[in-house]
Structure 1
Amino acid sequence: MKCKQDVFEKLKGKLIVSCQALPEEPLHSSPFMGKMAYAAMLGGAAGIRANSVEDIREIQETVQLPVIGIIKQVYEGSDVFITPTCKEIDMLYRQGVEIIALDATSRIRPDGTTISEIFPKIRESYKEQLFMADCSTYEEAVEAHRLGFDCVGTTLSGYTEYTKGRSLPDLELMKQLAQELPIPVIAEGGIWTPEELKSVFTAGVHTAVVGTAITRPMEITKRFIAAIS
């Protein structure tokens, strides 16, 4: 059983580092992600967000930090790919991650349902599990709270068809959610600098996730190259 207060208290006002690498990236391997998580811990991270059971297992063996677990899986006919079905949820549950994050947008899921239709069943099946809603809009986050998610993230703002072009990090959304929702709001998406990280905490969020700016050297290098091209 996971004590919600204990997990969220450990993360309050602290930084979560997302340790992920895509298949086409040089650091794509579980041992690398384990080392990345260890480096993040040494740097002061209070939690880790990670993708795939393999990477999470390696990370759990390397650091003693709360893990937000996801499984990215693409299914034909659906744009939802962050922990999109109950199969992925069950795999993460069995691995024992503190928080399972899943797409909580209004988009149709691979099984043809909406999050409003499927999450009550998920909540019933995994009563003690903590769930994070990856949202892209205010309305989605409010609905996620109504459905019983334990925390909401701004993860998908700017990444859905109907939020493309938004300036990131989405400070306006973060501030609105932090003011209006009684559950932890997790800032995520487009945080590139320490100054931006400070600004999202000023907006009132509970904790924040930084990924690419810390753990994806290929993408970091591309930004520097673009600046001189």
Structure 2
Amino acid sequence: MERSEISDIAHQRHPIAAPVAPEQLRELVGWLSPSDGARAVDLGCGEGEWLQELLLTNPGITGVGIDQMVPTSAARRADERKLSDRVRWIETDAATWNDGVFDVVLCVGASHAFGRLEDMLGAVRRHLRPGGQALIGDSIWEGVPSASALAALEVSADAYPDLAGLVRAIHEHGFEPSYGHVSTLAEWDDYQFSWTGSLVDWAVREAWTTEDRDQAFAAARENRDAWLSGARRELGFATFVLHDAAVGVRD
């Protein structure tokens, strides 16, 4: 099984694809205020749930979702919500894609597509029109990471900033955060157990071959073990609504 296929299955019951509850997603998106006719882009859109919530909240705007592979479930949900005529899905590398500037830029849980947090923030800056808004989300350390957390996640201590470090990076790229949210342990547990549970259910109920079943089981166990043996209570996630602070004040 391809990694993208495993991810698609794992997010079937949690299309937000981040440790954020549905009501908190709506709260975050509600802080964005695009005008009618505005255009939005979601860099690394995954299941497309963030972009679709923005379109549902703002019926006068259109959007583009960018990802290496956009699951068919994203287009299906857009069709069910009668959003198909207002959204385009483009399968390409979000790090190299370039098609002008947008009024709203979303990038939640996709910094890995750009390499580093700084690269992701740079891409958001490039795609945002002067005076626009952005919504970004990324992993943070809740404190000084332990050796068990680093081993479980197979990363170094500088892989993620703490919350203050994330805000500093945001400022360094010319943004001012307004509303923010740090995911709770309950949100994390719901996300992680939904991720592994969806894979286990698929393996038991839908896998056509023993090889696919075993790969799904293995991916679920690997993720669950990393979470329970070190990452839980240490790996965090923060989401911020950003304003372009690099523009002048109104007359």
TM-score by length of 1: 0.37
> Which structure would you say has the larger Rg?
2
More strand by share: 2
TM-score by length of 2: 0.34
